[in-house]
Amino acid sequence: MSLSFRKTVLPALLVLAAIPASAAEWSAQPSVVSEVYYDSNIVMGSGTRVEEVEGLRLTPRLNLRGRSAIWQTNLNISLPFNRLSNDLYDSDDQIVGLDYTRNGERQAWGLSGELRRQSTRTAVAELGFVAAATRTENRSLRPYWTWIANENNSLQVGGNWLEAEYSSPRFSDYEQYSFDVTWIRVLGERLTLQSAVYSSSFDLIDPRQTDSDTVGDADSTGLSITLLRQFDEKLSGSIGFGARRTETLAARFLPADQQSIFCLLFGFGCLQELFTDESDGFTGSAQLGYEGDTWQVSLAASRSLTPDAFAQELVETDQIEATYSRQLREKLFFDMSLEYVSSESLGDSAFSREYWYATPALRWRFAERWTFSTTLRHRIREATFGFSGVDTDSTAIFFRVHYTHPRASW
């Protein structure tokens, strides 16, 4: 048994084994996706070269569901195999997600988690570059408890834990701990209000440092209010606003009169001190969606605060995405996605990064359980940190065949 299996699939199976099987209904559904792709431009590290890549990806998947009168669980396992024209970046990845909920008379509690081991290919798709043949491991866990006061009011208390590890020293490992309390109020038949307060702690580990106090560690507290509206059977939307205060551990050079002669003359060996940098900001989200008989469209926007492994600090990220889907024929569909992502650091590193994505796609269900799709993705990328003067725009094309096996129940 491989180490990756013991660290990903096995823990989820152990959790499932602890769930009582009596009076439960179980079902399993396997599927597989075969994909070939071509990317015209991958940046192979900071300020180095670019490279064209052709690749093959095979992704077997398994969905396992279980439910009884008081509980339900859902397990998803994906095992992608990547083979690229540059075999340095071949990989066998593992993605495991687990959700479990248990309902009482006026309360419910649940647990969701994910284990993810991925390769350089993922970094290429998300960031547009690779700094080395990087392996990443991400582990997340969210326990929560919900109390239903009455038909119009409920309270949810939850926590989040996230850990990311990278094999390349170019990226910073990090951990995130957070705690949130959300009050949910039903204002009407189609209107719901959610109010939340939260506190988060971020520990970023600079691979170049060994001190216990690490520059980039931060604590953030905030509140948010979200209004959800179902206008009619086809139109729905939500809008939310929030405010946050973040304290980040930062470093600065001591005044000249406290520096050594070597620092003043040669610029090395200069002393630094740690201090707490405070920043205020806002978070928010908005979503609007419409579902017609043969088409659907949605528009979403958000602002969030997240750790960035490459910047090695917290970044504020704005994201806008528009999607459109239309049924052209009985088994032929057209999909279109436009996305803009902008990230900017809270610290003094002047890190910023912008992406524009345009992704049209055609899907053809040529048989009952078979789907063929072709996707064209164009990426425009701009960055002011680490990739000055490097062309990171690219065009990629994907061909996929997806087969879903009939669900088995027992």
- How many residues comprise the chain? 410
Q: Do residues 306 and 318 lie in contact, with contact meaning Cβ atoms separated by under 8 Å?
A: no
Domain assignment of residue 57, yes or no: yes
Domain assignment of residue 216, yes or no: no
Domain assignment of residue 217, yes or no: no
Rg for the chain (alpha carbons), in Å?
24
Kindly report the backbone phi and psi dihedral angles of residue 261, in degrees, each rounded to the nearest multiple of 5, phi listed first. -65, -30
Total tally of structural domains belonging to the chain: 1
- Mean pLDDT for 22-47 is 78
Domain assignment of residue 143, yes or no: yes
Nearest to 223 by CA among 197, 245, 201: 197
Tens of pLDDT, residue by residue over 187-229, are 998 999 999 999 999 888 765 555 444 556 889 999 999 999 9
Domain assignment of residue 186, yes or no: no
Nearest to 55 by CA among 27, 32, 20, 87: 87
Tens of pLDDT, residue by residue over 130-139, are 545 567 888 9
Q: Residue 82: give the domain boundaries.
A: 1-171
Determine the pLDDT at residue 261.
67
Determine the pLDDT at residue 212.
47
**CB atoms inside a 10 Å sphere around CB 91:** 19
Tens of pLDDT, residue by residue over 327-369, are 999 999 999 999 999 988 876 666 788 889 999 999 999 998 9
Domain assignment of residue 102, yes or no: yes
| Model confidence band, residue 45 (pLDDT cutoffs 50, 70, 90) | very low
Is it the case that residue 259 has pLDDT exceeding 70? Answer: no
Nearest to 36 by CA among 285, 397, 319, 407: 397
Determine the pLDDT at residue 132.
54
Q: What percent of the chain has pLDDT over 90?
A: 48
Q: What percent of the chain has pLDDT over 70?
A: 74
Tens of pLDDT, residue by residue over 133-167, are 567 888 999 999 999 999 999 999 999 999 988 87
Domain assignment of residue 304, yes or no: no
Domain assignment of residue 201, yes or no: no
